[in-house]
Amino acid sequence: MDEDVEEELMRKIRALEEGQAELKREVSRLQRRRGHHHQPAGGADSSPQQQCAAGLSSRHHVMAMQSLGQAVHVLDLQGKVLYWNRCAEDLYGYSASEAVGQDITGLIIVPGDIPALNNIIGNVFTGKCWRGKFPVRNKSGERFSVVADATPLCDDDGRLVGLVCLADGTQTLEELIACPVDL
């Protein structure tokens, strides 16, 4: 079953990439046409998807996710890691290649905290967002707390496909609070 889900996700990713390439070609055609006759911004030929595709490539989207100052991980509906950025590597000690495909509970959650995590994930999978402090562990087994923000992840048709979690160690936040602002 997991292989079927992974294959379906890969098919959707390929379809999205092909769709984005088609949108880019269409935007280029529209821009060439606008050179001959002016089409106002936001006109009939303009859509948020085309504007997004014209502004950022898939590579730029990945670069933006990697550049965030918080750990970002994306989970599928079974709790398997689909995406793991550089800050997640730094925070938890696992490289993306080690984390992707793994169950999040076995990776960073102490067994006694799994029921609480399952409750949070269950709420997120009903469409609710969750924000709070949660205990985790890193690759070396060291326990610490993160402040996390988990939100549902839906596909283009509005179907739930997983969740996105942004997290930062509470130590980082405590250091920020303790430091005076330098202007």
pLDDT, mean over the chain = 77
Residue type, 168: D
Give yes or no for a contact between 116 and 154, defined as CB atoms under 8 angstroms apart. Answer: no
pTM attached to this predicted model: 0.64
User: At 101, phi and psi to the nearest 5?
Assistant: 95, -10
The number of C-alpha atoms within 13 Å of 91 and in the hemisphere containing its C-beta is 28
Residue type, 92: Y
Per-residue pLDDT tens over the stretch 3-58? 665 665 565 565 555 545 554 555 555 445 545 433 333 334 434 443 344 566 76
Q: How many Å apart are CA 87 and CA 165, to the nearest integer?
A: 12
User: DSSP E strands: which ranges in 51-159?
Assistant: 71-76, 81-84, 130-137, 143-154
Please report which confidence band the pLDDT of residue 157 belongs to, taking 50, 70 and 90 as the band edges. confident
Could you tell me whether strands 81-84 and 160-169 are parallel, antiparallel, or unpaired per DSSP bridges? unpaired
